[in-house]
Amino acid sequence: MLTLLAGQPECLWDEALPIEVKELPEDLAALDRLLGDPAVLGPIVERWQREFEQTGRQVIDQGRRIRASSQQ
């Protein structure tokens, strides 16, 4: 599972899975490293935070959206 802000919690199933299942393929790992850089998504987060404060709309995490769309 890809995450932006927190690590994946450990569970019993994690112990049963082989290491290959837990690791990202190289292309997704590279995308994950890029999106993990605060400088990449920082301007988007700041703008959306201002918009949320002005309009009260829900903020969608762009890192999560980009990661999800790259898996399709």
Cβ distance 48 to 59 under 8 Å?
Answer: yes
Tens place of pLDDT per residue across the chain (72 aa): 444 555 666 777 777 888 888 788 999 899 888 888 888 888 887 887 887 788 776 656 667 777 777 766
* Whole-number pLDDT of residue 46: 84
Q: Can you read off the two tokens belonging to residue 52? A: 């949320």
Cβ distance 35 to 67 under 8 Å?
Answer: yes
* Whole-number pLDDT of residue 1: 42
- Nearest CA to 48 out of 33, 31, 64 is that of 64
* Whole-number pLDDT of residue 58: 62
